[in-house]
Amino acid sequence: MEKDTLTVAPSVHVRGFRFLCLEMMSEVPTDGTSGVLDLSRNRYSLASQVSLSPDTVAFSYCLPRGAESQGFLSLGTTRPELAGRRVSYATLYSRFPRRNLYFLKLTGVRIGGTELLIPTEPLASDALIEVQTTFTYLKPYVYEDLREVFRAWMSNYKVAPSSGELDTCYDFTGLNTLEVPIITLSFQGGASLELGIEQMMYFSNPHNIFSVACLAFAPAPAYGSGVSVIGSLAQAYTEVVYDLIGGKVGFVDNRC
């Protein structure tokens, strides 16, 4: 383990930053990347080494939908509410044995303005928020209810074959207009994440919504202890703010 000064444009300097060199013989990057940026709660992660104050958050990011748009990563940035941006916060939890990761409590799922009729206690679950997973995974019975309502909304559209683990797909080719119900995920603490068509649907052609697309949700696998996962597609265009001092994660809509 070595130490150095890490500089992140335009003006963030982390002195005494600890880093490791890893040699993975079977996993040589082929996409031009040179390493992995650790933003977890690990002791030596970049997030844990950022100097904080009551007016700042550890980090925030906004994931672009694709190469045609631009996102960002900010470290030690000013709280969005102090910068005049509207933000909603969810309570941050830890979960044994993966205490280095970021978990929220999912408390509600709304589709087309209607709340899924699932009692709060069985609905509530630990939801891992991360960027390495593309799709969003829900407890199987929550996903089944969501799928049933979504399919009812989309009954006038041509059904397409399933694509891998995505089993609710449609062929929109040749259409001029398209309407899908908005899906909103609610979390303990009061935050909500509203998903538009590009956050809730996975398109075969990301540059054309009038193509084949699948609902970008799936049931959480049993081997993962049924933990829900909020994937990167659902987070696209939204600034996700990690307030580690306050123990919460915030969402700011339409930031990239």
Ramachandran quadrant class, 31 (left: phi over 0; alpha: psi -120 to 50; beta: rest)? alpha
Distance, CA of 48 to CA of 147 (rounded, Å): 39
Q: At 179, list the tokens.
A: 């309407």
pLDDT tens figures, 166-185: 999 999 999 999 999 999 99
pLDDT at residue number 178: 93
CATH of the domain at 155: 2.40.70.10
pTM given for the model: 0.86
| β-bridge mates for residue 192, sequence order | 186
Specify the number of domains making up the chain: 1
Distance, CA of 44 to CA of 42 (rounded, Å): 6
pLDDT at residue number 207: 85
Which parts of the chain fold into alpha helices (H)? 120-123, 140-153, 197-200, 232-235
Regions of the chain where pLDDT drops below 70: 1-35, 66-67, 120-124, 222-226
Provide the residue range defining the domain that includes 129: 2-252
Q: At 38, list the tokens.
A: 């650790």
pLDDT at residue number 25: 43
pLDDT tens figures, 71-89: 898 888 899 999 999 999 9
